[in-house]
Amino acid sequence: MDDRRTFLRFLAASPLYAGLPWAAAALAQAPDSEPLVTRAQDALDVFDLEKVAHKTIPVAHWGYLMTGVDGEETLKANREAYAHWQLRTRRLVDLSKLDMGTELFGVRYASPIFLCPLGSQKAFQAEGELASARAAKARNTLQILSSATSTGVEDVVAAHGGPLWYQLYTSSDLNVAMKIVARAERAGCTAVAVTVDLPAGRNTETLSRAMRADTRQCAACHGDAGPGALSARPMYQGIDTKGLLNTSPALTWDFIKRLRDATRMKVLVKGLESGEDAALAVKYGCDGVMVSNHGGRATETARGTLESLPEVVAAVKGRIPVLVDGGVRRGTDALKALALGATAVGIGRPYIWGLGAFGQAGVERTLDVLNNELRLAMGGVGARTVKEITPAALIRRA
Ligand SMILES: Cc1cc2nc3c(=O)[nH]c(=O)nc-3n(C[C@H](O)[C@H](O)[C@H](O)COP(=O)(O)O)c2cc1C
């Protein structure tokens, strides 16, 4: 019995296990024999928060959070890409003034790690986006608010206190999209990130299975007037929400050009993975690009985002910031992305694990854990600033 426990503990601590937290496995996972942490500050890594959130979040919502698409190969690739690199250490560098500060569009943040846009956060915890915003404020962290927010942009801006970025699904009616952009700008958002990686819908198989396992009356919330319905959300009252949270299938670079002309906000495209598209983003006047595959929730059997990052960085040639997200679960992951040319690194599911587990304190703990790990990794490769994290910090695993 003791042997078995020791072995399970060894497995749980092994990078192989940590590298496999994808949805199907997480749903099927047997309850851990270790007790769950009961306070946010006791979480040693983001997986401690994941375990608590798995218990607190209703099964269908957990499925929505964890799902990839089809057989979840892209979801897996996001994690695996990080395991292909090892850190190349440097010693005897004076680290007494190690600084993780990162500037984006003239605003200085405490670290290059930011909160990705994730929809419907009240499905994970009662305060939803407001708790995430307060945590982001407390940790001087960039937050990008999802189009699918369960809270109005004005309230989230107020809770964050600093400039927020807004993520846009263009919807099948581009005029509606423009109205929403104008509202986000009026509320004080300083950038809009247009998500372009879902042009044709998707097959979220794990979510469908989880919905079957949920015995609650979903219609009570997801019916027309329920809090799960878009039309009932503060962001969309008075707007015809049909097709609102989709990318228009007719979307082309022309819309980016129109948007560029219609707003004073910075414009980014979220969901690029190729050098050709990155070059077009620069050509059409984008202020930044986000290398993302929607956390493995868009195109199936695509590359991990870390694998796509170098060709985007090469095409952009330093002209605009390149942000990346997908599968970041450790500070060392963030360091690897920065070494391969990212300006900043986004996290999605990990901060929602913190939110679901402990609300604002959980999101703060997620940020503290990852920032601390990044700080240690920077020390390991002798980087005193984010700018000093270069490709020399990495070596490809043999
Ligand atoms: C539950 C969930 C909801 C999401 N909602 C949005 C969204 O509304 N808009 C968007 O652009 N991306 C959305 N994403 C993608 C994230 O912004 C981000 O690209 C992804 O979560 C990063 O991968 P990670 O979860 O492995 O860290 C969502 C992801 C998840 C898991």
Give tens-digit pLDDT for 61-112. Answer: 999 999 999 999 999 999 999 999 999 999 999 999 999 999 999 999 999 9
203 Cβ neighbours under 8 A, 6+ residues apart = 69, 70, 300
The angle subtended at Cα 221 by Cα 217 and Cα 223, nearest 5°, is 95
Mutate to test the pocket of ligand 1, among 76, 82, 146 (most ligand atoms within 8 A of CB): 146
Q: Cα(18) to centroid of ligand 1, in Å? A: 20
Structure token digits, residue 131: 């708790």
221 pLDDT tier (thresholds 50, 70, 90): confident
> Does residue 268 contact residue 289 with C-beta atoms inside 8 Å?
yes
Nearest to 26 by CA among 49, 3, 10, 4: 49
Residue scoring higher pLDDT (279 or 22): 279
> Cα(323)–Cα(115) distance, rounded to whole angstroms?
12
pLDDT of residue 227: 76
pLDDT at residue 151 in the model: 96
- Residue 215 CA, chain-centre distance (Å), reads 29
Of 49-53, 189-193, 210-214, 393-397, which range is least confident? 210-214
At 10, the pLDDT band (50, 70, 90 cuts) reads very low
Q: Rounded distance, CA 143 to CA 352, Å?
A: 13
192: β partners: 166, 267
Residues constituting the chain:
398
Instruction: Summarize pLDDT for 120-165 with one digit per residue, the tens.
Output: 999 999 999 999 999 999 999 999 999 999 999 999 999 999 899 9
- How many Cα atoms within 13 Å fall on the side-chain side of residue 44? 2
Q: Say what angle helices 349-358 and 129-138 make with each other, to 10 degrees.
A: 100
Contacts of 318 (CB under 8 A, 6+ apart): none
Going by the DSSP 8-state scheme, the letter that residue 23 receives in this structure is H
105 CA distance to ligand 1 centroid (A)?
22
Supply the pLDDT for residue 223.
Answer: 77
Radius of gyration of the chain (CA): 20
Catalytic positions, written as ranges: 294
The answer to whether 153 touches 159, Cβ cutoff 8 Å, is no
Q: What is the pLDDT, as a whole number, of residue 218?
A: 83
Long-range contacts, stretch 26-34, CB < 8 angstroms, 24+ apart: 26/50, 26/54, 26/62, 26/66, 27/62, 27/63, 27/66, 27/206, 27/209, 27/210, 29/54, 33/5, 33/8, 34/9
Q: 2: pLDDT confidence band, cut at 50, 70 and 90?
A: very low
14-32 per-position pLDDT tens digit: 544 554 445 656 555 555 5
Q: Which residue has the tokens 């015809």?
A: 240
What residues does 288 pair with on adjacent strands? 268
pLDDT of residue 6: 47
Residue nearest to atom 1 of ligand 1 (CA): 65
Tokens of 255: 């819309």
> Residue 153: helix, strand or coil by DSSP?
helix
Residue 14 DSSP one-character state? S
Residue 132 phi/psi, 5-degree rounding, is -60, -40
The C-alpha atoms of residue 73 and residue 97 are separated, in whole angstroms, by 41
Higher pLDDT, 20 or 373: 373
Q: What is the mean pLDDT of the chain?
A: 91
| CA gap 149, 133 in Å, rounded | 12
Atom of ligand 1 nearest to the CA of 245: 8
Q: State residue 335 phi and psi, 5-degree precision.
A: -60, -40
> Residue 289, class by beta-carbon neighbours within 10 Å (0-12 exposed, 13-18 middle, 19+ buried)?
buried
Mean pLDDT of 210-231: 83
Q: Check residue 173 and give its pLDDT.
A: 81
CA of 7 to the centre of ligand 1 (A): 34
- The class level of CATH for 82-396 reads alpha beta
Torsion of CA 220, 224, 228, 232, to 10 degrees: -130
Provide residues with CB under 6 Å of ligand 1: 64-65, 78, 116-119, 146-148, 167, 195, 270, 292, 294-295, 297, 325-328, 347-349
Burial 104-133 (b: 16+ CB within 10 A, else e): beeeebbbbbbbbbbbbbbbbbebbbbbbb
Does position 43 have pLDDT exceeding 60, yes or no? yes
Can you tell me which atom of ligand 1 is nearest the CA of 64? Answer: 1
- Give the pLDDT confidence score for residue 329 in this predicted structure: 98
The whole-number pLDDT of residue 292 equals 98
- Given a cut of 50, is residue 3 above it in pLDDT? no
Across 207-217, average pLDDT: 90
Direct distance between the N- and C-terminal alpha carbons of the chain, in angstroms, rounded to an integer: 37
* Residue 199: predicted pLDDT: 82
